[in-house]
Amino acid sequence: MQVVVLNGVNLDVLGRRDPKLYGGVSLGDLETRIYEWASQLHCHVRCRQTNNEGEYVGWCHDALDWADGVIANPGAWTHYSYAIRDALELLTVPLVEVHISNVDEREEWRRTSVIADLAAKRVIGKGPDGYREALEFIVEESKK
Ligand code: DQA
Express each pLDDT in 68-92 by its tens digit.
999 999 999 999 999 999 999 999 9
pLDDT tens readout for residues 38-48: 999 999 999 99
* Domain ranges within the chain, ordered by starting residue: 2-142
φ/ψ of residue 80, rounded to 5? -155, -5
Going from the Cα of 143 to the center of ligand 1, the distance in angstroms, rounded, reads 30
Tell me the helix, strand and coil percentages in the chain, rounded to 5. Answer: 50, 20, 35
Pocket lining: 10 vs ligand 1, CB cutoff 6 Å:
yes
Q: Does the domain made of 2-142 have the CATH classification 3.90.226.30?
A: no
Residue type, 20: K
Clarify whether 44 is annotated catalytic: no
Which among 95, 42, 99, 35 is positioned nearest to 73, based on CA atoms? 99
With a 6 Å cutoff on the Cβ, whether 91 touches ligand 1 is: no
Q: What is the DSSP string of 80-94?
A: T-HHHHHHHTT--S-
Helical segments of 43-88, H only: 53-63, 82-88
Catalytic site residue 35? no
